[in-house]
Homo-oligomer: A and B are copies of this chain.
Amino acid sequence: MQTVTEAPVVRVGVLGCGTVGAALVHLLVEKPEVMTERTGLRLEVARVAVRNLARERGVAIPDGALTDDLHGVVTDPDVDVIVEVIGGIEPARTLILEALAAGKPVITANKDLVAVAGVELVEAAVAAGVDLLFEASVGGGIPLIRPLRESLAGEQIRRIMGIVNGTTNYVLTRMTEAGASYGDALGEAQALGFAESDPTSDVEGFDAANKAAILASIAFGVKVVTADVYREGISCVTAADIAFATRLGYVIKLLAIAERVGDEVAVRVHPAMIPATHPLASVRESFNAVFIEGEAVGDLMLYGRGAGGGPSASAVLGDLIDASHNLRAGGMGRASALGQAQIRSIDELTSQYYLSIDVEDRPGVLAAVAGAFGDHGVSIRSMEQDPLATEARLIFITHLARESDIQATIAVLRELEVVDRIGSLLRVVGEG
C-alpha cells in the first residue's frame, strides 16, 4: 500500500463546477488519503474553471485553483487531465478538442455534446493517441460504457433496450402506480425537481435519443448520431392506455432501443408496452436501466441512478482514475475509430402494435376498421372494446407487422367517417 506522498501525482483540471463538478471536487478533496489507498494515485484538483467566480459552489475548492479562464486550464502545462462538466455544445467542444490536441486525456459527462459531436471527438482522441472517456454521459452512475467496451468486447450484441431518462420514467411510474393523469404526474415531477419547467427535452424523447445514439455507437462500434434516431415522446400516453396495459399484464416505458438488423443498425426512442415480468418493468421512479441481449452472454441488465451530482461524479471519477492510471503507465489512448453505420429506417422494422381508436357506436363500424388493417396486411391478434372508456373505444393488438404497413393503415383509418379519433400507437416489445 502506498502512502500519499509516494503515490504518482495526477493534476486534474476541472471545467465547470455545477452539480456534477462540485460533487467531483468534493470526492477528490474530502479524503485524499483514502483515495490514494484505493487507487495508488494522488489526484490533485489543480484548476477549477468557472464562468462566474462570485457564485457559491458549496464545496471547498483548493486555494488558488479557482479561475474563470477555461481556455487557460486546458493549455496549462501543470494540468495533466481535463474533466469537462460544463455541458452544452460550445465552448465545451472547442475546449475538449484543444485538450486532446495538447495530448491531455479528457473525461466528459456531456451527453448532448457526445451525441452530436462524438464522432469528431473520438477521431481527435484517436489522432492524438489519448483517452477520451464519457461513462457519465449515459445512465449517470451506472457502469455501462466500460462494460460494453471491455467486458463485452468479444460479444455479438443483438439489441440494447434502455430506460435512460429518469423524468419520463418517474411520470410513467406515477401514472401506473397511482393512476395519475399525464399532466398531474408531470406536475408532480416538476414540483419534486425531477422535471424542468420546460420539460420538452425529456418528455418528447430528445434526451433519450441522445443517449440512444451514444449507446448504439458503443455497442456496435459504428457512427450513430442523434439525427439517426427515430423519436417519439410520452406526451401522447393516456391514463386509459396505462390502465389497459396493466389489465393485459404490460407496463408502459419510454425505451431507447438499438438493434442490429442484418448489416444495419436501427435506433429508436418511443413508449413501448413490455410484459410485467420483464426486468425493465420493475425499474421504477427516476431510476434508469439498460437491458442488453448478446449472442453468448444472453440477457443482462445494468440498473441505477441515471442522473444527479453524486452518481454522475462517481462515473466521472471512475473514468478519471482509469485515464490517470493509463497516463502514468505511459499507455496510449484507447479510443478506437468508429465504422460507418448503415441505419435501418423504422419503416422497415416489424413489431406488434397496440392501437386505440374512438369510433361511432353503430353497426358495420368494426368491419370498416378491420378492413383497413386487412387491406395493408396487418393481422389482428386481439380486439376489444375498452370497458373503462366512456365513448366507443376499440383497442387492437396486432401480430407482427411492418411499421410502414401500420402507418398506412392509420392513414386510411383517419379518413374513415366512422372513426372519431386515433389514440395512442404503442409498440409491444420484450416478449418471448
User: A residues bordering B, Cβ < 8 Å?
Assistant: 1, 23, 27, 34-35, 38-40, 135, 141-143, 146-147, 150-156, 221, 277, 279, 281-284, 287, 289, 294-305, 308, 310-311, 313-315, 317-318, 320-322, 325, 329, 331-332, 334, 336-337, 339
A300 touches B39 (CB 8 A): no
Q: List 30 A-B contacts (CB under 8 A).
A: A35-B154, A38-B153, A135-B151, A141-B294, A141-B296, A141-B297, A143-B147, A143-B152, A146-B146, A146-B151, A147-B151, A150-B150, A152-B314, A155-B314, A277-B284, A279-B283, A279-B303, A281-B282, A296-B310, A296-B311, A297-B305, A297-B311, A297-B314, A298-B304, A299-B304, A301-B303, A302-B303, A303-B303, A325-B334, A329-B331
In angstroms, Cα B294 to Cα A403, docked, is 43
Take A154-B321, A337-B1 as given contacts and tell me if A305 and B298 are in contact as well, using a CB distance cutoff of 8 Å.
Answer: yes
Q: Main secondary structure on chain A at its contact with chain B?
A: mixed
* A305 contacts across to B, CB distance below 8 A: 297-300
Nearest first, the 10 closest Cβ-Cβ pairs linking A and B are: A143-B151, A143-B147, A141-B297, A297-B314, A282-B282, A154-B317, A300-B304, A301-B303, A296-B314, A151-B318
* Closest residue on chain B to residue A148 by CB atoms: B143
Residue of A287, A301, A315 most packed against chain B (CB within 10 A): A301
Q: A301-B301, A301-B302 are in contact. List 18 more A-B contacts (CB 8 A).
A: A1-B337, A39-B154, A135-B151, A143-B143, A146-B150, A147-B147, A147-B151, A152-B318, A279-B282, A281-B282, A296-B317, A297-B305, A297-B315, A299-B304, A300-B304, A301-B304, A325-B334, A331-B331
